[in-house]
Amino acid sequence: MRVRPFDRSRFTRSQPTDGDAARIRRILANANRYALTTWWHTVRDYDAQTGDHLDLGGIAEPNIRPPASEAYALAVALATGAYSARSTGVSERTAREMTAKLVRSLAFHHRVNTEGGWGYDWQTALWAALAGNAGWLVWHDLSETDQHHVWRMVEFEANRFLGWPLPYWRNRAGRYTGACGDTKAEENAWNSRLLFLAGVMMPWHSRRAGWAYKAAELSIGAFARPSDVDNQRVVRGRPVGDWLEGTNINEDGSLVNHNIYHPDYVTTISEMVSGGLVYGLAGRRIPVNALHGLPVLYESLVDKPWWPSPDRPCPNSPGFLPPTAANPTGTMYVPGSDDVYYPQGNDWGTMRRAHFAELDAMAGVFRAHRGAGAWERRHAKRVLDMQRRPLPGGQASDGSTYRSPEEDTYSGREEWVAARAAETWLTHWLAHHGALRTTNAADQIVVCNTDRGVAVTGRWTVGSPAVNGPQVFGTGVRYKAAGTGEASVRFTPRLTATRTYDVYAWWISSDSQASDAPYTVEHTRGTTTVRVDQRTGGGAWHRLGTFTLGPGGNVLLTDDADGYVVADAVRLRPR
């Protein structure tokens, strides 16, 4: 079995009925109603299509992310028992059929399943996370072929991050790595979300350790601040600073995107936390790295004064807007109100609240801020009130949230609300079931030959899965003909603390490769060379031994062998 499906039977309590949970359940039901009626029949006109797979109209964000969001929102409602046929006017059976059709269409049109399909782009890990999570939740509503397409989609998008150097806003020295006004926090958060999902869905997968490591690296780095670079607090077996090659937010939790201090992008930590929620759905403890940065980010919204204004974050940033008299210090959350103060203006519209309600709920259940519950009630009530408004022509609401593009300029705004509502409901539902326990257990370190911390000397041929086959661990591999030992690949993870590890190596195999490839482990007691036969055993981990590694500890592979040597990946499993 490749996939361990979601098991609803492990959750035996009744539905949560407290005011916050009941409110967000109504919001989700309204979003589901809109999706199954107006959106399906009119906005997307999917009911006019009779084939097994929907024509999504293209492979760009407007074609894929909105249906993935709706599939996810429907799947969450169905899987948790929150779906209401009475509220939507659509039977549960029909809703399941429509959700399954969305999932199988999204997976079918992914490039790993259909030539020329969507995938392997800047935002596609998020789309795959939404569609894949939906498929996992309604797994038994899918055919074997559809299930195959879903896991291949998730696997493909996860594998591309193995050996992928994370982007950062600033490097460890504090210098910008690119544009001043473009944090990498959001994309790192949603990429980690996909990797969290992959590991939970496919716990027996040979790349699971690599996915977990990269998920930790992404989630700890997504909202890292300057002090984290030297932070010795241990997260998942390593000091925080050892995980990082840079930072993405300021020390006070403020975040710069679109050249401004932007409240909307502070809330994107919810993508990362939502990835962690998948562990709760699987009956497992949530990795603490999925919550890294939550308290300081939330405090930047609630408590940080923005008036008098600070310096502009970038040379081309707009000026600051004075707050209202009711908010003299200019906190982003306006006291006693659901309004949000955008210190430098807002380019996404004036009526976005669903993402704030979601972050409030997460901050509340994970105890990041004592006042989070009150803020959630304000923000969620505004969303529900917006959904109850008559349509522009005077007709009764169809469950949609917005009444004009000016309220939210994003073209997928209704689908975006549906996903936010699903994640908020899921947060409350899991909390009610006692499924939000966390773990800070030490995890494995996996270094691919294309990662930071890998030093290459000599001329090595660079291969890929497309050329060298599926045994390649990540997106690339290095190999070289036999030599004198002068050419090498050195795998050096950042280690400031000393720990004992089982050390493993991964390679691809063929008859032309070395029978005596030399791996030398530099550890606290010296060096140990282990020779392995790379003619066999490709596409798997092989233990080199148990060693204690500290600062500077590394694994070196040279070409001093009787055939081709392959440098692919190294794994350190803490004892």
Residue 445: C-alpha distances to residues 252, 285, 476, 493, 511 (Å): 30, 19, 18, 8, 30
Query: pTM of the entire structure?
Result: 0.98
SS (H, E, C) 428-478: HHHHHCCCCCEECCCCCEEEECCCCCEEEECCCEEECHHHHCCCCCCCCEE
What is the length of the chain?
575
Q: Which of 79, 63, 76, 64 is nearest to 27 (CA)?
A: 76
The full set of domain ranges for the chain reads 167-183+198-337, 445-574
For residue 466, the model assigns a pLDDT of 87
Mean pLDDT, all residues of the chain:
98
Q: Is the pLDDT of residue 313 over 90?
A: yes
Per-residue pLDDT reduced to its tens digit, 455-502: 999 999 999 998 899 999 999 999 999 999 999 999 999 999 999 999
Q: Is the pLDDT of residue 442 over 90?
A: yes
Q: Decide if 265 contacts 169 (C-beta within 8 A).
A: no
For the domain 445-574, what is the CATH code? Answer: 2.60.120.260
Tokens of 446: 């996996």
Residue that is written with structure tokens 């790349």 in the block:
207
Give me the numbers of helices (H) and strands (E) for the chain, helices first please: 15, 20
* pLDDT band with cut points at 50, 70 and 90 for residue 510: very high
Q: Decide if 275 contacts 215 (C-beta within 8 A).
A: yes
- Sign, CA torsion 349/350/354/355: positive
Other C-beta atoms closer than 10 Å to the C-beta of 234 total 14
Under DSSP, is residue 15 helix (H, G, I), strand (E, B) or coil?
Answer: coil
Run of H or E residues at 81: none
Per-residue pLDDT reduced to its tens digit, 52-95: 999 999 999 999 999 999 999 999 999 999 999 999 999 999 99
Q: Is the pLDDT of residue 1 over 80?
A: no
For residue 334, the model assigns a pLDDT of 98
DSSP-assigned beta bridge partners for residue 110: 118
- The values of phi and psi at residue 350, to 5°, are -100, -5
- Averaged pLDDT for residues 150-156: 99
- Averaged pLDDT for residues 184-192: 99
Other C-beta atoms closer than 10 Å to the C-beta of 88 total 23
Cis peptide bond N-terminal to 315, omega within 30: no
Q: Is the pLDDT of residue 342 over 90?
A: yes
- Averaged pLDDT for residues 121-130: 98
In terms of phi and psi (left: phi > 0; alpha: psi -120 to 50; beta: otherwise), the region of 258 is left
For residue 467, the model assigns a pLDDT of 87
